[in-house]
Amino acid sequence: MDKQAVTSADIAAAERVLGIAQTGPERDLLAGALAAQIDLARARRAVPLDERLAPACVFDPRLPGFAPPPAAPLRLPAADAPFPGDDDAAIAFAPARLQAAWVRAGHLTATRLAAICLDRIARLDPAIGAFARLNPAALDEAAALDARAARGDWAGPLHGVPWGCKDLIDTAGLVTDRGAEPFLGRLPEQDAVAVRRLRAAGAVLLGKTTVGALGYGDVWHGGRTRNPWNTEEGASGSSAGSAAAAAAGLCGFALGTETLGSIVAPAARCGAVGLRPSFGRIARTGTMPLCPSLDRLGPLCRDAGDAALILALLNGADPDDPSSLDIPFGGDAGRDPEGLRLGILAADFADPSAEAARAAIEHCRALGVVPVPVELPALPWESLVSLLMAEAAASFEPLTLSGADDLLARQDESAWPNQFRLARFLSAVDHIQLDRLRRRGMMAMRDLLAGVDLLAAPFGVGALPTLAAFTGHPCLCLPVGFTLSPPRPSAGIAADAPANAPARRVPAALCLWGRLFDEAPMLALGHALARRCALDLRPPHGLTGAT
């Protein structure tokens, strides 16, 4: 296109796309200037930018005057139970801290524990699809840890615990293809920082858990990851494999990532405990960049105490992640929650789907927690999602401009390829204004949490989940009951089950939000609430639904 090619008619058509209107004379003035602006954009697009290059503007969730909680040692809930002997299922579903304690006590070897999980994967995962690939060295790594233990040399608090790693977190020598066709066969040379920290703690990598293509949904190039409670529906996304694997007892815990719901959504669907820490707490070096101002890593497991331990092991900055912060993680994650003030958005709990969450609040009352009504300012928080779309489109601009986005199998209206293309039509001015609205949201969350210790809402209801993702606040999602439900859609995909598919008994979740960099009270209440609810969180033997 030459510099005279843009006409007033072109501009008028573009205005309809942007939702604005200008006069004829204004369009004539623009027509003469747009060609130079287009040339500048083309010059920039011609320069390849390494995906690891962070934006110059780095998001910091801390408002002026922020002070982290006083430094304190981390105290975890007790993890003590008799060793179940030959009951492999009981071993598989035990909390990771208990598995590690049994290994350290000599009741169990790392090799046997890894073999139990690998056997479960072989038998159950064909119906779930939680693992994209296994680590061929898993048993060797476990045997090496057993040899160290025989010498009295313990690697760390997760010595011998098998885990699964979301397949957009790099693992040296083990394919990490991000669930997406354009990256098939991608082989990292180095472990991500989080992987190195877990290896140092003694965890045994079983394999790569499935991820919705490029961090979206539960569909990847190998198929769809399914909810172990009802395999006629997806596991939700995008940490679908990590949540499903933890919930089905295929590993001690798994590592996930979240931009907007990718830890908490599959945790809620599958009946796992999902922790999204404060933004910046865990360095993301070696993790696929999707939205630099939103992306976070966090554990998916079966126990809030495990989530606290794993967060402690992962906590800390890295120089190659300019968003990461060195803020100590501590506090009493096993304390009695009596006296905690829990902010409740009444309208969210009035939703018909919130029955289990309402019951959970009554359990909180019985624990001595004080529910306090709070209100979120009625502003268009959902519009912040356009920030996410713009960042994601920038991260994967090479796919869009080269046409390689056509390689992605999923090409419907809500899938990434279309969202990347759609983002090209977002207004830069609107983007800056959305950033200002984001700061307004940070102020709103600060004010909400000024009079309470925590916030609570049923999963998937109201504006709080979206707002808190953009403000950087931590969230804990945990199962608090069950509900009967027919197969449900996830991330724009209908459940691929017959129209008359029966309702199944599936977990129902509650979400808790805490103050920035103050996760311990949230984890303490989560642990106490789980103990009080005392749910049997083992999915049906043989799995329910499709095979």
Let me know if 201 is exposed, middle or buried by CB neighbors in 10 A (0-12, 13-18, 19+).
buried
Q: Is 402 known to be catalytic?
A: no
User: β-strands 504-514, 475-485: how paired?
Assistant: antiparallel
Q: Which amino acid is at 458?
A: P
Bridge partners (DSSP) of residue 74 are 331
Q: Which amino acid is at 44?
A: R
Query: How far apart (Å, rounded) are the C-alpha atoms in residues 141 and 135?
Result: 10
Catalytic residue among 238, 323, 324, 490: 238
Query: How far apart (Å, rounded) are the C-alpha atoms in residues 364 and 394?
Result: 43
The alpha carbons of the chain give a radius of gyration, in whole angstroms, of: 24
Q: Is 383 known to be catalytic?
A: no
Catalytic residue among 239, 242, 262, 323: 262
Query: How far apart (Å, rounded) are the C-alpha atoms in residues 342 and 348?
Result: 14
Residue at token pair 């180095």: 190
Report the 10 Å Cβ neighbour count for 81. Answer: 12
| Contacts with 78 (C-beta within 8 Å, 6 or more apart), sequence order | 334
User: H helices of 106-253, where?
Assistant: 110-128, 138-150, 193-200, 240-247
Q: Is 293 known to be catalytic?
A: no
Task: Pick the closest to residue 469 from 381, 376, 372, 377 (CA basis).
Answer: 381
Catalytic residue among 166, 242, 293, 395: 166
Query: How far apart (Å, rounded) are the C-alpha atoms in residues 105 and 232?
Result: 41
| Contacts with 433 (C-beta within 8 Å, 6 or more apart), sequence order | none
Cis geometry, peptide bond prior to residue 324 (ω within 30 degrees of 0): no
Cis geometry, peptide bond prior to residue 242 (ω within 30 degrees of 0): no
Residue at token pair 């992640």: 321
CA 285 to chain centre: 16
Q: Which amino acid is at 526?
A: G
Bridge partners (DSSP) of residue 287 are 169
Let me know if 382 is exposed, middle or buried by CB neighbors in 10 A (0-12, 13-18, 19+).
exposed
CA torsion through residues 222, 227, 230, 236, sign: negative
* Distance linking the first and last C-alpha atoms of the chain: 54
CB 83 within 8 A of CB 532: no
Q: Which tokens belong to 436? A: 């200002």
- For the chain, how many residues are written? 547
User: β-strands 230-234, 504-514: how paired?
Assistant: unpaired
Active centre residues (catalytic) = 166, 238, 262
